[in-house]
Structure 1
Amino acid sequence: MKSKLFFYISLLLIHSGIALVVFILPFFSKIYAVIIPIIGFFYVYKTKNKNNEVLVVCAYLVGAEVLIRMTGGNINNEYIKFCVILFMLVGMAYSGFSVKSIFFWLFLLLLVPSILVTASTDDYGVDVKKYLVFNLSGPICLGVSAIYTFRRNVRFLDLQYMVVAMGLPIFTTAIYLFLYNPSVQDVIKSTQSNFETSGGFGPNQVSTVLGLGMFVFFTQLLLFSKSKILLVINGFIVLLISYRAIVTFSRGGVITGVVMIVVLLSILYFYSRAQIRQKFIYIFLLTGLMGIAVWSYTSAQTSGLIEKRYSNQDAAGRSKKDRLGGREAIMDIEFKTFMDNPILGVGAGMGKQVRKDKLGINVASHNEITRMLSEHGIFGLFGLLILFITPFILYIKNRQHLYFLSFYFFWLLTINHAAMRTAAPAFVYSLSLLLVQIRNQEKDINSLN
């Protein structure tokens, strides 16, 4: 027990140190980005992927993506997605894949027609390669990851190792944000998403990954804190990450993280024995107090502007007509584009040209659902149906997967406000397809006692 505690604390200290080094020596971010897959390949090669080590490596890469991108360590914007795809293929080479994953092979095939439409464009101003890579790297990452994880057996404890591997670099991201912007009060002047509190990077992506981090360390707090020291450490990290997520002033990731936590608590309550349910009163109370504390502190630090942000008001307290920051207009155009091109769509990435013609400015889609419809037509609709339905078919015989609904809602909510700009929604979706086994259900689920 003491050795595990020491190892966990050591990992947290190491990842705090990484944040400090990257802040002082920004070039280290590029080294960090290259070292992760190198060590990852050595790790997978050494273990022969006997316990799905590729998923641990991919989880770490996904957790580190936003930090690497905000500090200039990325080789290109799709670097982490390509790494995840490559590791999943390596995993398949070692451990194969289920023949029943045909649904996701079909999903990948459904992307082909839109590729052909884009490739056949006669608009010389269109960079076909760039359009295809930017818009299809996310769906392809999801499809390949899903093929590997579909019906793959893992222990619940091994799943938690993956979750923690994803959370450690997110913790690093939060520490880096404190170093980059130690005083929130000095930079918060309005209710708009704030780049200063987001490390100079996109608040939407930062909020998304921090929301995921909220869930990761909440699971550590709730299910794997068997000592007072761990309770204090994990509770502090949850509060720290939650605070940095809220002050990005980007609501999507925070709301998604809260939904994931609420869903997990509901699942645990539903599957617990009657005498255990009584103790959930204290858990709900503690969770509520933590939420009130971090919100109250944030409100004080932002002079009440955070309440106005979540009430959809400007700094003067006037209600905004647009509740989704301009996304309604984009979604409306994409729906109309689908209705005008219902069979093949306008082609992968070509929605950007349509939006530019309609709005007069270059604007990327924030919603993967409407983008799939407008750019892929009916093939995109069928692809979405596969993604929506397949996990629930699997879940019927996979009730020991305690994180299933949380993972599924992370994917669903994230693609609605941040599309698939990062690898996180694709990878987390694939984790919902694992067949999770809790060897000692009473001991593992009720370890919060």
Structure 2
Amino acid sequence: MQAKRRKRYRFTNDTYVALVVLHILMGVFINLIPQFSTVYFSLVCAFFVLKIIVTGKHEKLIWVLFGASYFVAAESLFRMTGGGLFYEFSKYFVILLMLMGMFFDGLSGKGYPYFIYLILLVPSILVASTTLGYDLNFRTSIAFVLSGPVCLGVSALYCYGKKVSMQVLLQIVACMSYPIITMATHLFLYNPSVKEVLTSTGSNYATSGGFGPNQVSTLLGLGMFALTVRFFMKSPSLFLKLFNLVLLAAVSFRALVTLSRGGVLAAVLVIGAFLVIYFGRSKYQQKQQIIVSVLLLLFVSLLTWVISLNQSSGLVGNRYSNEDALGREKKDVSTGRVDLFVDEFAGFKEHPFLGVGANGMKQERLEDTGKITASHNEISRLLSEHGIFGVLILIILIFKPLDFRSRNRNNIFFYSFLAFWFATINHSAMRIAAPAFIYALALLNVTHEKPPLPRKQFKPR
């Protein structure tokens, strides 16, 4: 008797197209029936939790990663439409999924540096308990700045060294695109006329669904990456190539007209890292196909840029040229982020050992200026609020993945994932769960499935 082969997860292009159409329809429903967002949120929460519980052990890892990737991409959608339970829900839900994965599937002992990383976060809480004033609620202040780092640590602990096939990794990336397509659909219906609402080159809430442009732009940029991957690696037919290019153009347009540059520039960096690695690993014949696809991608990108210039009356171009609506060059290209970075680095120099405590710099700025200003840079925040422990945290976060990479080179998205994490934490800190979870994806041990060899059956003579 032949041994039973393990059932492998399969996902067809027909299923992908059907899911994209479904998520476009959900974007329409959310716009027409605001309460539908809560129903949508509740259904996907229940679906992924139940799927992890009832599925076989060998597929629990897959559904943990599918659920986490879906929710990090849906975070801004649920925030802008009021569908989620509370503001930080996605981070806590990702942590829950990872803990469920640990319970059912265990974790690698070689990921212990991320356990040390989590311990290094604790002193900042103790310091904050003595420094935070009455103007800032202790519990919510701590949760606001540490939920992202804890999400990263727990995700990295679970993902470290976990084996997934290349096909599963591609579906994890695809899962990110679905809720972003829903969000883009909602944005088109929420703000059908960009010209009517764009009057300056500042980040625009109207084109961002009435929500924070920085967060919306970041996730739309993530969608640009996911759809680019789909275009190059999972579009064997002309229909699928055109289908994914249209989706990519639509998502890119909505990202550009938010006038929040961080997410778009991060997307360009991440896509560039992917294409360099993908091209370098390909054989000669495949490289010829990639070059043709790149030229097509550049044409669609240029067309999208021209349309965004037209629809914004040139304001998109002014924004990316660091000019105001009248074409005058702005003095600060970082829109105040450099000043915050310098301020927080000064806090590190004043408190080099234990730092000022979690959310301590916000407390100091409140006392100095009377305004509550949150950090945009996770690196300077780690240094100022954690002191020498922040330095150790950065060493772990930067060098542990590189050490892992030296022994596991099959993850074609390794540098793209790290680039997204690094770019995002430098312009948006960890306001959303995406950089935390996507950092952890760089720690997966990607395997390449080999088709089973046909076995000859012995026939009795």
Residue of structure 2 aligned with 1:229, choices 212, 218, 239: 239
Match of 2:417 in 1: 407
Residue 347 (str. 1) matches residue 357 (str. 2): yes
Query: Does the 8 A contact of 1:312 with 1:320 survive in 2?
Result: yes
C-alpha deviation, 1:283, in angstroms? 2.5
Residues 297-319 of structure 1, C-alpha deviations (whole Å, 9 max, x = no match)? 11111111111101111011111
DSSP 3-state at the match of 1:186: coil
TM-score of the superposed pair, with normalisation by structure 1: 0.95
CA deviation string 1:189-208 (max 9, x = no partner)? 11110101000000000000
* Larger displacement relative to structure 2 (109-118 or 43-52): 43-52
Which of 278, 292, 310 is the matching residue for 1:282? 292
Distance 1:48 1:105 in 2: 28
Matches within 5 A, 1:327-366: 327-366=337-376
Map Cα deviations across residues 384-413 of structure 1 (whole Å, 9 max, x no partner): 111111111111122210111111100000
1:276 Cα deviation (Å)?
3.3
Aligned to 1:47: 55
Structure-1 separation of matches of 2:135 and 2:328: 41
Q: Counterpart in 2 of 1:8?
A: 16
Q: Which has the larger radius of gyration?
A: 2
From the superposition, tell whether residues 266 and 347 of structure 1 become closer, same or farther in structure 2 (CA, over 3 Å): same
The alpha carbon displacement at 1:280 in A equals: 3.3
Alignment partner of 1:71 is 2:77:
no
Task: Tell me the number of residue pairs that the alignment of Structure 1 and Structure 2 aligns.
Answer: 439
Question: Are residue 19 (structure 1) and residue 27 (structure 2) matched?
Answer: yes
Which 10-residue stretch deviates more, 42-51 or 139-148?
A: 42-51
CA contact (8 A) 1:29 1:68 kept: yes
AA partner of residue 30 (structure 1)? T
TM-score between the two structures when normalised by the length of structure 2: 0.93
1:340 positional shift: 0.2
* Residues in 1 aligned to 2:291 and 2:134: alpha-carbon distance in whole angstroms: 63
The CA distance in 2 between the partners of 1:295 and 1:21, in whole Å, is 29
- Does 241-250 or 21-30 show the bigger shift? 21-30
Mapped partners of 2:42, 2:355: distance in 1? 37
Alignment partners' CA distance in 2, 1:184 and 1:49: 48
One-letter identity of the residue aligned with 1:276: Q
Q: 2:95 aligns with which of 60, 85, 88?
A: 85
Structure 1 partner of 2:41: 33
The equivalent position to 1:152 in structure 2, one of 162, 185, 191, is 162
1:46-445 equivalence runs, <5 A: 46-51=54-59, 52=61, 53-121=63-131, 123-440=133-450
Deviation larger for 133-142 or 161-170? 161-170
Residue in 1 that maps onto 2:6: none
Partner SS, residue 134 of structure 2: coil
Any conservation in 2 of the 1:330–1:355 contact (CA below 8 Å)? no
Name the CA distance, whole Å, in 2 between partners of 1:15 and 1:176: 10
Distance in 1, Cα, partners of 2:30 & 2:286: 45
Alpha-carbon distance in 1 for matches of 2:380, 2:114: 20
**Amino acid corresponding to residue 48 of structure 2 in structure 1:** G
Contact 1:49 1:91 in 2 (8 A): no
Alignment deviations for residues 43-72 of structure 1 (CA, whole Å, 9 cap, x no partner): 111114523111111111111111000001
Aligned-partner residue type, residue 366 of structure 1:
H
| Larger mean Cα displacement after TM superposition, 53-62 or 275-284 | 275-284
Check 1:296–1:145 CA distance in 2 against 1; reply closer, same or farther (3 A cut): same
What is the alpha-carbon distance in structure 2 between the residues aligned to residue 165 and residue 102 of structure 1?
A: 28
Q: Identity of paired residues, percent? A: 44
Deviates more, 1:48-57 or 1:254-263: 48-57
Contact residue 33 and residue 68 of structure 1 kept, 8 A:
yes
Q: Give the drift of 1:27.
A: 1.7
Cα distance in 2 for residues equivalent to 1:17 and 1:281: 34
Question: Mean alpha-carbon deviation: is it higher for 338-347 or for 16-25?
Answer: 16-25
Amino acid at match of 1:221: F
Distance change (3 Å), C-alpha of 1:81 and 1:409: same
Which residue of 2 is the match for residue 447 of structure 1?
A: none
Mapped to 1, the partners of 2:179 and 2:28 lie a distance apart of 13
The answer to whether the 8 A contact 2:377-2:427 is kept is yes
Question: Any unmatched runs of 5+ in structure 1?
Answer: 442-449
SS of residue paired to 2:236: coil
One-letter code aligned to 1:26:
P
State how far apart, in whole Å, the 2-side matches of 1:384 and 1:170 are. Answer: 30
> What's the CA shift for 1:187?
0.9
Q: For 1:166-205, what per-residue CA distance to the aligned partner results, in whole angstroms no more than 9, with x for missing partners?
A: 1100110000000100111111111110101000000000
CA distance in 1, matches of 2:115, 2:106: 14
| 1:289 aligned partner, one-letter code | F
Quick one: structure 1 residues 8 and 357, their matched pair in 2 at CA, closer, same or farther if it must change by over 3 Å? Answer: same
Question: How far 1:12 sits from its partner (Å)?
Answer: 1.2
Does structure 1 conserve the Cα–Cα contact (< 8 Å) formed by 2:131 and 2:360?
A: no
Look up the match of 1:446: none
Determine helix, strand or coil for the equivalent of 2:446.
strand
Distance in 2, matches of 1:48 and 1:280, equals 38
C-alpha distance in structure 1 between counterparts of 2:72 and 2:58, whole Å: 21
Corresponding residue SS for 1:154: strand
**16 and 39 in structure 1: CA distance in 2 versus 1, 3 angstrom threshold:** same
Superposition CA RMSD, Å: 1.4
CA distance in 1, matches of 2:135, 2:208: 33
